[in-house]
Structure 1
C-alpha cells in the first residue's frame, strides 16, 4: 500500500527564538513545533501549509537560525533544543524540502535558548541555560557537501545569568562585536581580539529582563555607525549607537523630548568607550521607543525601501513597525498590527490572543509574520496601492498533546481536541484553483484539558475532559453557512443558533444572536447595571468571509453553543463512544477500583443516564467502540481485560463475553471490523494487535499481529469487507502501520509502515478512517502527543 501525507497541522513553540525565515536559499520559514522543526512557505499561493517536519531532537526546540550560504540551491539550518544539543541540517538542490541532519554537537550542559549568526562569515554563537555563550565556526567546502562545526570559545557569563538574547555584527576589518543580554537588566558588549571575545562594555538603563537584541548599519554602506536595538520586559525598546573614532556623535535630541517627562531622568548619555585592534569606539544611548504596553519579545531591523525600520512584537498583542522621523530624528511607530483590544488577558473567546512571541520580516521586506500564544501564525502583507498592511491566510495548530480526533458522520470535516484545552475543526477549502486544508472553527475553548471527542450527528459533537463531565455542542448557523460556502458542505435546514460566546468567568458556551450592521442595539433596560453585554451580540458581517478564518475570528467568533452536560463520573473522563445510529453515548473515567471503572450509557434524545452502569473492569477503561450494527459494545482497559456487551430487548447492554487476560499488558485500543461475522481488534502495551471473532462457541483469537513497540491506538476501515480486515495502528514511539489481514488465512498479514520521516515523534493517541471515501483512495486522521494533527492518504 502507498501511504502519503496530505495535511499536517501543528502549532509553534512559544519561544521568541524558535523561528527564522530563510532570506536567500529556500525562502522557507522554519519554526520549532514541539520536538520537531516545521517547514512552511508563507508565500505559497496554493496554501498547502506545513510542507514537512524535521525529526531528531528529543526535547522542545527553542532556537532556529538559517545560515546564509550565498547560493539559492543550498540551505543550512541550525537548531538548538532543550535536549542540550545543537543540530546542523542541510538541504541541497531540488524542489523538495528535504533536510538531513549532518552534525550534532553536545557541548552545552543546559537547554540551548538562542542562536546568533554573523552574516557573510562562518561565525555563529549559541546561548544556553547553563549560563554560557559559545562561539562556533562552520567548516565546509565550497558546495557544502561536507559540513562540520568547531567550538572556538566558551564565555561564562558573570555575574551568572541566562542569555535570552544574542547578536553578532562586524565591527571593522579585524573585529567582531557580540552583544549578550538575558535575565538581568544589563547588556554586555564583547569585542573580538584575534579570535577571542573580551568584555568591553556593560550597558545599563533597562529595568527588566532583556528579550531581544539586533544589530544593523545605520545606512547601507559599511562605514556608517552600528545601531543596536534592545527590547525588554520593562515595555521599552532602547537604541544604542556604536560610533567609530575619538569624538562622540552628535547628542541625540531624543533625550530632550518633553514627551518623555519623568523618564528623562533615567536616560543617561554616558559614553562607553572601547577599542578594537585598529580603532577606538564609543557606545551612546540613542533613543527610547515608547508604545508597547507589555513585555516585548522581539525586535528586528530591516532596510526597507531605503529606510531603516524596526519590527517589534509584544505581549500586548501588537506588532509595531518603527521609523525615524526624517525631520526631527525621533523614532515613531508608523504601523501597528494585531489586536488593539480592551479585552486583555485570557485566550478565551472573549479575551485576547495572549501576546505575540515571534515577529519576522519576509525576505523581500513586504510581509511580516507573527506567532501567538495559541500556536497560530498570522501574516500581513503591505499593499502599496492602498498604503496599508492586509492580513492574509496563515497556519494554525495545537500546541499541546492532541488526545482525541474524529470525523463528522459524513466525513466532511475532522474534529480534534487535546491538552491545550481547545477543540478544532479542520476541513478542505475547495476553490477553482485547487483545494487546501485549514482550521475553520474552534468550537470549544475550555478551562480543562480535553481527553476524547466523538460526533453524535453531522452538526453535533460531544467531548470529555478532566473536569469529570461531558459537554454536547451544536453547530451554529454562522459556521454552517461558512462551511457550505467554502467547503461545499451541505448545510442542514434545521433551526440553528447564530453564534456563541463564553460569558466572563464562565466555562459554558452560550448561544448568541447575530444582528445586521445597520441595526442599533437598543438597551431596553433603563438601569445601566443591567446593560446589554456587547460580547453577547455579534455583527453578521463578522461571520461573513470568503476565505478560511484568521486567528482573530477563530479565537473569538467561531465557538459552538453548548446544549447539554452529562454528569455521573467521579474522575477525569478517559474514553467515550457514540453508537452508529446516534442513540447512545458510552463513557468511562479514570479509575483504580471496580466502583469507578464503570461504563455509563446515556441516550441522546433526553440526555438521561441509562441505569445501571456496566460493571466488570477493575481499572481505567481506555477505549470504547460500538459494533457497526450497534448490537455489541466493546470495552478494553488497563486491567488487561476486554469485554463485549450485547444489546437486549430493553435497549440496554449486558455482559456477553469477556477475557480477563486478553493481553499480557494493559489494553489501550479497540476497534470493530465491518465483517458480517462480528470481528473486533484489540491493541496493547504487549506490542501486539489481536483479531478476535465472535462465533456460536464463544470468542476465538484469529490472529496476532506483532508490533515493534507498545500499541496505543488501532482503527479499522469499515468500508473494506471482502473477507479482509484493513486496519491501522499507532505505537507509543510514533510509528504508524497500515495492515490488511485475511480472516480465512490469519497468518497472511501485509503490513505497510509509514516512513519514519513522515511519522509523529511521540505516542499516537488516536487513529480514525475517513467515512464516505471511495475504494481506491482512503484517508486516515492521526492525533499524536507531539501536538500534531495529520491526514494521510492510503491507496492500494
Structure 2
C-alpha cells in the first residue's frame, strides 16, 4: 500500500509566542498546534493549507521561531514547550519539504515561554516559567549539516517573574541589548559585557535599566532601528495587558534626545503624569559608549489586553507597528509625519457590534498572534477558535482585503464520518464544535477547506454519524443526541464551489440558522434581500397599522452575506453557517459514548457511558418519527465503546469496556435480538469494531467483522456456515488499538481495513477473501501520523465520479487536534 497525506486540518495554540514566519527560507509560517509544529505557506496560490506536522514535543508547544540561516534551502526551527524542552529542527525545502529533529535540550526547569533570535548572529535567548532567561549559541558549519548548542549564561530574574516577552538586538558592532518582561509591569534591559562576534564568546549580560510605566503584565517586546542607518536610535515597542503600547527610545551619547512631540498629544490628558514620566535611564557599554533610554510615545486605541506588537519597515521607509488584542482587532500604527503622534492607520478584525455571544468575553475571544508576511504586503492573525485570518493589501483598492486562510479543531477530535455519498467530511470534538470539510475546485487547483461549522455547542462532543447526504446526528456530554439538517446556504455553497449536487430540491430548505441569545439550540432563520430594510429591521408600524409586530433582527440575514465565491472565512463559519437543529433524542442517563446509523438510514443506535448493566444499554430510534424502538438492547455491563450496523443492515455489532463483543440480529419483525456474544473477546477492554463488506464484489463468503482492543490486537471474526463465530486472524500492534474500520468499498475486493493505536500509529491491513488469515499490514510513516491517540477512522465511500482503480481515501480523527485525510493506493 502506498499512503500519502492529502489534507491536514488543525488549529493553532493560543499563545502569542507560538508562531513565526520564515523571512529567509521557504516562506513557511510555523505555528504550535497542540504538541506539534504545523507548517503552512499562507502565500501559496494552490491554498493547500498545512503541509507538515512536526511531532516530538510531549506537551503543548508555547514558543516557535526560525533561526536566521541566510539560506533559501535550509530552515532551522527552534521550539519550546510546556514539556520544559527546547527542540531544534532542520528542514530542507527541496526536493520535498522535510524536517528532522536534530537536538533536544532539557536545561530549563519549567515550561518555555519565549524564544528570541537575531539575524546575522548565532546567539539566541529562551525564557521559561522557572523564572530564568538563558543565553545560547548555535554551533554549526556553513551548510548547517552539523548542529550543536552551547549554553552561555543563565539569568535568574529578580524580582522573580515569568518572562512572557524577550527581544534581542545589536546595540553597536560589539554589544547586544536584551529586553525581558512578563508577569510584572516592568521591563528589564540587559547589555552584553563582551563582543558577541568572537569565535568563542564568553558573553555575560548585565542588568543596566528597569523601565516602569506599564500597569499590567507585558506580553510583547520588539526592537527596530528608527531609520535604515545603523547609527540611528533604537525604538523598543512594549505591549501590555493594561491596553496600551509604549514606545521607548535608545539613544547614543551623553546628551538626551529631544523630547518627543507625541507626548503633547491631547488624548493623553486622561493619564496621570506618573504614567507619562520621561525619566532618562542611562547606561554605559563595556567599550565606554554612553546610552540613554527614554519614554517616546503611548499608543492608545485597543480596548482590551494586547498580545503582540511587531515592527516592519514599509517600502517607503516608514516604520509600521502591527498589534493584536483581546478586543478582536488587529491594528497597524504609523507616526504622523507632521506632529510625530503615533496613530492607528488601519484596523482589521471585528467591531464591537458584531461580537458574538458564545464565549465568556462576549466575543470571539480576541486575536492572540499577529505576524507580518516577509514582503510586508500581508498580515495573518490567530484567534481564539484556532483559526487563522489573512489580509492582503490591494494597491488598486487601497485597502486590506481578507482572504482564505486555514481552520481546525483546538482540542481532541473525537469523531469523524463521511456523508453518505462521500462528498464531504464531518468531524466533531472536545472543542465543542462540529465542522464540515469539502474539496474546493478553483482554477487549476483543488484544495480542502472547512465549508461549514454546523454545530457550536456548550458541551464536549463525542460522536457523529451521517443519516442522509444532508442530515447528521451527534452525541455529547449533555446526555442527549441532536439531529441537524443542511440549510440552503450551505447546500448552495457546496454546489457552487465543490460541485456537490443535492438529490432533492433546495427550495424547501431553511436559508440558514443561528443560536438565539438565550437559547441552546440552532434555530432556522430566513435570508432577506439587501434592499429589504423594513423586513430586516422591523415592519413600519405607520404603514401596517397599530398591530404590526417587530420581528427579531437576529432571525434574519442578508442574502449577500451567504453568497460567497470562495470557502467561508472564519467570520462566516463562526456566525452564519450553522445547521438548524430538527430533533433531540432523549433516554440515556450519562454522557453519550457511541452512535451508529443503519445503512438505509431508518434506524439509529446509541449508547452512553455506564458502570452497570442498567445504563450500558443500546437504544434504538427510528428516523421517521424519531421515537425510541423498545425494548433497549441489554448485554453489556460497562460502557459500550463502539457500534456498527452490517453493510446489509441485518446485524448490529457492539463492543464495550467489559471486554465483550455482541452481535445482534434483525428478526422478521424488524427488531434486533441477541444472536452471538463473546464475554472474553479480548483480554482487555474493546475500543473499536467494524463490519467488512459481504457483497459479491468483496469475495468474502461469510459475514466478517473486526474488533480492536486495549490488549494491542485487532481480531478478525467470521460467522461460519455452522452458525458459529470463529476467530480467523489476529493482528498485533505496538500499543493499545483504539479504532478500526473496514473499507467496504475496496476497489479490488477482499478485506481492506485500517486501525489506529493509542500512540498515533496507523496500519492498513489487506487480506485475500479466500484466505483471511494471510494478512499484509502497511504502517503509515511516523512523520505523517498523528502524535496522539487515534479516536476514529472513516473510509470515503466510492463516488460515481471517482473511478480510479486502487485509490481510496481515509479520514482520521485524533487526540492531537488534527483531522487528516490520507490517500491509500494499492501498489
The alignment's TM-score, normalised by the length of structure 1, stands at: 0.98
Aligned: 1:493 with 2:502: no
Distance in structure 1 (CA, Å) of the matches to 2:393 and 2:540: 45
Aligned: 1:370 with 2:396: no
- Within a 5 Å distance, the mapping from 1:648-727 to structure 2 comes to 648-676=667-695, 677-695=702-720, 696-720=722-746, 724-727=750-753
SS across alignment from 1:729: strand
- Within a 5 Å distance, the mapping from 1:414-563 to structure 2 comes to 414-491=425-502, 492-493=504-505, 495-522=508-535, 523-524=538-539, 531-563=550-582
Does the CA-based 8 Å contact 1:715-1:768 persist in structure 2?
Answer: yes
* 2:260 maps to which of 252, 264, 267: 252
- Within a 5 Å distance, the mapping from 1:64-79 to structure 2 comes to 64-79=64-79
Does the CA-based 8 Å contact 1:349-1:556 persist in structure 2?
Answer: no
* 1:564 maps to which of 583, 589, 601: 583
Superposed CA offset, 1:472-515 (max 9, x none): 00000010001000000003315100000001132200000000
* 2:204 maps to which of 196, 202, 210: 196
Aligned: 1:407 with 2:418: yes
SS across alignment from 2:531: coil
- Within a 5 Å distance, the mapping from 1:281-320 to structure 2 comes to 281-305=291-315, 306-320=317-331
TM-fit CA distance, 1:351:
5.7
User: Could you list the runs of 5+ residues in structure 2 that have no partner in the other structure?
Assistant: 195-202, 696-701
Does the CA-based 8 Å contact 2:539-2:548 persist in structure 1?
Answer: no
Does the CA-based 8 Å contact 1:347-1:555 persist in structure 2?
Answer: no
Q: Classify 1:331/1:623 alpha carbon distance in 2 versus 1 (closer, same or farther; 3 Å).
A: same
Does the CA-based 8 Å contact 2:26-2:93 persist in structure 1?
Answer: no
Q: Classify 1:684/1:345 alpha carbon distance in 2 versus 1 (closer, same or farther; 3 Å).
A: same
Which residue is equivalent to 2:649?
630
SS across alignment from 2:267: helix
Distance in structure 2 (CA, Å) of the matches to 1:530 and 1:110: 61
Does the CA-based 8 Å contact 1:350-1:501 persist in structure 2?
Answer: no
Does the CA-based 8 Å contact 1:346-1:354 persist in structure 2?
Answer: no
Which residue is equivalent to 1:337?
348
Distance in structure 2 (CA, Å) of the matches to 1:611 and 1:324: 73
Does the CA-based 8 Å contact 2:437-2:448 persist in structure 1?
Answer: yes
SS across alignment from 2:431: coil
Distance in structure 1 (CA, Å) of the matches to 2:581 and 2:225: 56
Which residue is equivalent to 2:777?
751
* 1:354 maps to which of 355, 362, 365: 365
Does the CA-based 8 Å contact 1:702-1:743 persist in structure 2?
Answer: no
User: Could you list the runs of 5+ residues in structure 1 that have no partner in the other structure?
Assistant: none
SS across alignment from 1:484: helix
SS across alignment from 2:160: coil
Distance in structure 1 (CA, Å) of the matches to 2:92 and 2:631: 64
SS across alignment from 2:572: helix
Aligned: 1:790 with 2:801: no
TM-fit CA distance, 1:694:
1.3
Distance in structure 1 (CA, Å) of the matches to 2:19 and 2:547: 48
* 1:614 maps to which of 633, 636, 644: 633
Deviation larger for 711-720 or 619-628: 711-720
Distance in structure 2 (CA, Å) of the matches to 1:263 and 1:160: 28
Superposed CA offset, 1:277-335 (max 9, x none): 23111111000000000100000000012110000000111100000000000000000
SS across alignment from 2:339: coil
Deviation larger for 417-426 or 348-357: 348-357
Q: Classify 1:136/1:656 alpha carbon distance in 2 versus 1 (closer, same or farther; 3 Å).
A: same
SS across alignment from 1:554: helix
TM-fit CA distance, 1:353:
2.2
Q: Classify 1:85/1:468 alpha carbon distance in 2 versus 1 (closer, same or farther; 3 Å).
A: same
Q: Classify 1:241/1:550 alpha carbon distance in 2 versus 1 (closer, same or farther; 3 Å).
A: same
TM-fit CA distance, 1:531:
4.4
Which residue is equivalent to 1:240?
248
Distance in structure 1 (CA, Å) of the matches to 2:432 and 2:749: 41
Which residue is equivalent to 2:117?
117
Does the CA-based 8 Å contact 1:349-1:557 persist in structure 2?
Answer: no
Which residue is equivalent to 1:270?
279
SS across alignment from 1:521: helix
Q: Classify 1:462/1:351 alpha carbon distance in 2 versus 1 (closer, same or farther; 3 Å).
A: farther
- Within a 5 Å distance, the mapping from 1:97-246 to structure 2 comes to 97-194=97-194, 195-246=203-254
Aligned: 1:579 with 2:598: yes
Does the CA-based 8 Å contact 2:246-2:297 persist in structure 1?
Answer: yes
Distance in structure 2 (CA, Å) of the matches to 1:24 and 1:384: 25
TM-fit CA distance, 1:721:
8.2
Does the CA-based 8 Å contact 2:704-2:719 persist in structure 1?
Answer: yes
SS across alignment from 1:138: strand
Does the CA-based 8 Å contact 1:347-1:354 persist in structure 2?
Answer: no
- Within a 5 Å distance, the mapping from 1:720-735 to structure 2 comes to 720=746, 724-735=750-761
Distance in structure 2 (CA, Å) of the matches to 1:529 and 1:155: 72
Does the CA-based 8 Å contact 1:450-1:464 persist in structure 2?
Answer: yes
SS across alignment from 2:493: helix
TM-fit CA distance, 1:100:
1.1
Does the CA-based 8 Å contact 1:640-1:660 persist in structure 2?
Answer: yes
Count, aligned residues: 796
Distance in structure 1 (CA, Å) of the matches to 2:291 and 2:782: 53
Aligned: 1:381 with 2:392: yes
Distance in structure 2 (CA, Å) of the matches to 1:479 and 1:424: 12
TM-fit CA distance, 1:653:
0.8
TM-fit CA distance, 1:746:
3.5
Q: Classify 1:371/1:723 alpha carbon distance in 2 versus 1 (closer, same or farther; 3 Å).
A: closer
TM-fit CA distance, 1:383:
1.0
Does the CA-based 8 Å contact 1:255-1:264 persist in structure 2?
Answer: no
Does the CA-based 8 Å contact 1:63-1:112 persist in structure 2?
Answer: yes
SS across alignment from 1:636: strand
Superposed CA offset, 1:196-240 (max 9, x none): 011111111111000000000000110000000000000000000
* Aligned Cα root-mean-square deviation (Å): 1.6
Does the CA-based 8 Å contact 1:350-1:556 persist in structure 2?
Answer: no
Q: Classify 1:693/1:141 alpha carbon distance in 2 versus 1 (closer, same or farther; 3 Å).
A: same
SS across alignment from 1:99: strand
Distance in structure 2 (CA, Å) of the matches to 1:385 and 1:434: 25
SS across alignment from 1:228: strand
Distance in structure 1 (CA, Å) of the matches to 2:96 and 2:368: 29
SS across alignment from 2:501: coil
TM-fit CA distance, 1:348:
6.3
The alignment's TM-score, normalised by the length of structure 2, stands at: 0.94
Aligned: 1:777 with 2:777: no
Which residue is equivalent to 1:25?
25
SS across alignment from 1:75: strand
Does the CA-based 8 Å contact 1:343-1:351 persist in structure 2?
Answer: no
TM-fit CA distance, 1:172:
1.3
Q: Classify 1:514/1:780 alpha carbon distance in 2 versus 1 (closer, same or farther; 3 Å).
A: same
